[in-house]
Structures are given as structure tokens and as C-alpha cells.
Amino acid sequence: MDSKSARSRSADTSFSMDDFAKALASYDYTFEKGQVVTGKAVSYDTDGIFVDIGAKSLAFLPLWEASLRMVKDPSAIMPLEEEREFLIIREQDADGQITLSLKQLEMKKAWDRMAEAQDSNESLQVRVTGTNKGGVTVDVQGLRGFIPRSHLNEKDDLESLKGTTLTASILDLDPERNRLVLSNRLASRSAAFSQLEIGQLVEGKISSIKPFGAFVDLNGTSGLLHINQISNRYVESLPNLFQIGQPIKAMIVNLEEGRGRISLSTKVLENYPGEMLEKMDDVMAEANDREERARKAVLGV
């Protein structure tokens, strides 16, 4: 290769590299509202945090957009040089500054977690923050939720619930309307049902007597001892057989969590038809000894 060709090639190469460098220097990454970006805090301001997201100017995270909860100390939310994801909520202003939000990104993730909890029927721990005529407002992982009075275990003294933590399950979820309705009662029922199974011997107290059977309080959960499940012999009068508050042992013969139904039986504990009517005390005293035989009868094994 002659010297003229070498010089020409060198010039072409030099021009190409220079052109590339200029193009790279002039290239400006596009940052748009709604975009999730990664950045690091570089300095604090009284109203927020300056963040390097790779733009020409530092982006700004206002304090009121730093967290789902009230923030006074920005360093507690984001130490310097810590890398985080942010949501762009305002594009470049006249000074080229972009406005960021952690709160809105956290809120989206929180709503996603609520949707997952609803799909899996997961119970949540919520903190009561206020009351009104209809029920109580609660904090749910930074989101504001509501539990109607009818879905509270404690319905009478709502003021006493302020500041307490309740277990609740989701009834209604609508992120677009910022609507989150929960139930303390259903979560408690679900927890109680998780401890029960068909063929299990349980102990409770008669809580009410109806023409069709007796309801039994099982530590806050109600089971029904139907009149047909009391004895293998005809029962003429329930009021003559049971009293409110009377302790009783019975076997679970059916569970319907979706409808909140627990069906009980004492006739499976009888040694002969009518024993519950004639010698109920004996049946109750020997219930634990008869449990295995009765369980096999209920399960058909």
C-alpha cells in the first residue's frame, strides 16, 4: 500500500471515529412519563432528593413522592449511592429536570400484591387507623382499606379498635377507583376452618336452640348439630334435651368453608340407638374413647 492510500485510509478512519464520538456525545436518552428507570441518590434537599438516572441533568424526587408513608428524613428512605427503581411522573421541565416518584411505583406494586392475595385467598394483617358509622379504615401495606361494620368481629365499640392489628381477607379490589374492602370476620372464619377437618371430635357449648337443631359455639365459630344428627332414634323435643351454655362434644361430619357451615353429629358416638336421649352423660364422658370408631364411620374407612 502506497503512502497516499495509507493517508487516505487513516483520514477515513479518523473521520468515522470522530463522527461516532460526536454522535454519542449529542445523543440524549428519551425519558418519558410513566417509564420506570434506575438511579442513585447523589444529594439531599430540604424538599427531596436529587437522583442520577443517566440524564443530562439530575432528576428530582420530592419528599411527598418518596414513600407511601409520611417522610421527614430523606436519608431514611434512600441512602446516597443506593440504586433504586423510580417512576417518571413528569418529563423534563425548562431546566431539563425530570421528576420521579417512589410512592407511585410502590403503590402499583402494593396493588399487585393485593391482587395476588385475593387470588390466593390469603389473609392480611391490617392496622386500624380510623372509624366511621359504616366501619373502620385500615392501613394495608401502605394502602388505605375499609372494613364494613358487618364484617368486623367486634361491631359494638369501634373506637377501641383504633391502633389495633386485625386479620382480614379481601372482599373487593379496584385499583382504578382506589377501592380496597376487606373482611375481618371472613378471615377469622377461614383461620378457624383451617384447624378443622371432617371426622374430628370437637368440644363446644350450646349457643342457641332452633326447631331444626342446636347451634354449638366452637371457640367463636358456630357449628350446627341438626336434629337428625343428634341420635339414631327420633328426637321429640330439643329444649328438653339441651340448655343454652351446656357443654357438648360432637364429631364434624361436613365442612363448607365457602358458606361458613360446620355440620356436627353426636349420633355417630352412640353405642346403640337412643343412647344420646337416655344416657347423654355417658356418651359425652366416653366420647374420646369412641372417637376412632366414630371417625371411621364418618369417613367410611
Show me where the domains of the chain are located. Answer: 39-101, 107-190, 196-299
Q: What is the mean pLDDT of residues 174-180?
A: 93
Is residue 8 pLDDT above 80, yes or no? no
Sign of CA dihedral 153, 155, 157, 160: positive
Does domain 196-299 bear CATH number 3.40.50.11740? no
CA distance 31 to 231: 76
The CATH class given to the 107-190 domain equals mainly beta
Express as a percent the part of the chain with pLDDT over 90: 58
* Helix, coil or strand: residue 172: strand
pLDDT on residue 195: 86
Which has the higher per-residue pLDDT, 36 or 68?
36
In the chain, the amino acid numbered 92 is: Q
Long-range pairs for 182-187: beta carbons < 8 A, 24 or more residues apart:
182/124, 182/126, 182/138, 182/140, 182/145, 182/146, 182/147, 182/151, 183/147, 183/148, 183/151, 184/147, 184/151, 184/152, 184/153, 185/150, 185/151, 185/152, 185/153, 186/151, 187/123, 187/124
Confidence of residue 121 (pLDDT cuts 50, 70, 90): confident
Give the contacts of 104 (CB within 8 A, at least 6 positions apart): 65, 87, 89
- Check if 107-190 and 196-299 are the same fold: yes
- The closest alpha carbon to 264, from 191, 183, 211, 205, belongs to 205
Is pLDDT of 6 > 60?
no
Q: In the predicted model, is pLDDT for residue 178 greater than 60?
A: yes
Higher pLDDT, 213 or 56: 213
CATH of domain 39-101: 2.40.50.140
Tell me the whole-structure pTM to 2 decimals.
0.59
Type and span of the H or E element at 225 = strand 221-226
